Amino acid sequence: MMSKAAPVQKDNGVYNATIKLFGSEPDPAFEHPDRMARIWGREWGCDTDVGTLRTVLMHRPGPEFDVIDRDKYLPQTGGYGDPDAGWYWQTREIPKLEELQAQHDALTDLLRAQGVEVIYLDGVADGRFKSVYTRDSCITVRGGCIVTRLAPRMRQGEELPVTRALAQAGAPILRTLHGRAMTEGGSFAWLNSRTAVIGRGIRNNDEGIAQISDVLAHLGVELLVIDLRGYDIHLDGHFLMIAPDLALVWAPGLPFTFLEKLKELGIRAIEMTPHDNRWIVNGLAIAPGRVIMPEGISDETRTALEGQGVEILTVPYDRVQMNGGGIHCSTSPLIRDSVD
């Protein structure tokens, strides 16, 4: 018979001395750059929407679009959909997959040409063709990411491939929204390193906002909450930070109190005109004062932005926009330089 090894006898004095010598080290904080670099390989996170963009999460449209059935036209929406299956396409025209891929590729090519690393999702859930809009499934803060919980049935399940992609890249996940929380990243924006804003509405409930606010509170960040109009889905249909002190806004879509708050924070707001393609506000700042937009900016708005020193880069994106999201929706920043 095998005899059991005798238990190791601990000398309490030696043990306590060891624990004291190699004890807990809460400082520097998790998100401190030195600790990030040493443990996580690089300084993950964002505390700005305008700092130089280093790494972004995206998804190239793929076979998940095969679920769309052109025989299921919904006259009440002017598009296509299947309420039982839970999917919808919101425009009368459905572009070819090759057209979507070509425009998405043009955007990623432009980002890479600007020195941005593009990380792709590796596969998505069956039929989840809105996965191209990675902005909604991931919110990045200092030190890592928050995986959101998407609201409509056709988007639920996008969280898993995003979680896998973040883990594969080595990005810390600071929170996964849970319980009855619902929040999508298109309604979140950084105003400065100590202030963020989120739009409450049909896709963003109080429980989701509370969980995000909790993460930000540990970083010393205030989360402003504004109410979206009616059935508006996301804040990024009306608001885009372009430089630390400059934003592009579609004023009719924003509360007056928020416009006043921007002034209080020293952020000048350039208002879009009725002549603009409404999708230009769904652009992406890739550095302070350098922004990617879809085609369709009016001469008035271009002049106003360029008068503030803004460099505007454009790509055609109208085919992808037919799916309900634009350039901002299609990009989820994972690493940006701070501007403070």
Structure tokens at 307: 């008068």
Distance from C-alpha of 91 to C-alpha of 100, rounded to nearest angstrom: 14
**What's the pLDDT tens digit per position in 115-147?**
999 999 998 988 999 999 999 999 999 999 999
Residue 9's pLDDT is what? 54
For residue 287, the number of C-alpha atoms closer than 13 Å in the C-beta half-sphere is 11
Residue 15's pLDDT is what? 84
Q: What is the dihedral of CA 308, 314, 317, 321, to 10 degrees?
A: 0
**Is 80 exceeded by the pLDDT of residue 10?**
no
Mean pLDDT of 48-57: 98
Structure tokens at 250: 């579609």
**Is 80 exceeded by the pLDDT of residue 5?**
no
What are the Cα distances from residue 318, in Å, to 19, 188, 224, 277, 278? 61, 23, 32, 10, 11
The DSSP symbol for 179 reads T
β-pair type (73-74, 239-243): unpaired
> Sorting pLDDT into bands at 50, 70 and 90, what band is 6?
low
Mean pLDDT of 297-325: 97
**What's the pLDDT tens digit per position in 213-258?**
999 999 999 999 999 999 999 999 999 999 999 999 999 999 999 9
Short-list 191, 244, 254, CA closest to 222: 191
CB atoms within 10 A of CB 205: 16
Distance from C-alpha of 280 to C-alpha of 11, rounded to nearest angstrom: 69
The span from the first CA to the last CA of the chain, in angstroms, equals: 69
User: What contacts 24+ positions apart, CB below 8 Å, involve 277-281?
Assistant: 278/237, 278/250, 279/317, 279/318, 279/321, 279/326, 279/327, 280/248, 281/236, 281/237, 281/238, 281/239, 281/240, 281/248, 281/249, 281/250
Residue 13's pLDDT is what? 82
Distance from C-alpha of 48 to C-alpha of 45, rounded to nearest angstrom: 9
The answer to whether domain 44-336 has CATH 3.75.10.10 is yes
β-pair type (268-271, 87-89): unpaired
Residues whose CB falls within 8 Å of the CB of residue 220, separated by 6 or more in sequence, listed in order = 194
Delimit the domains of the chain by residue range: 44-336
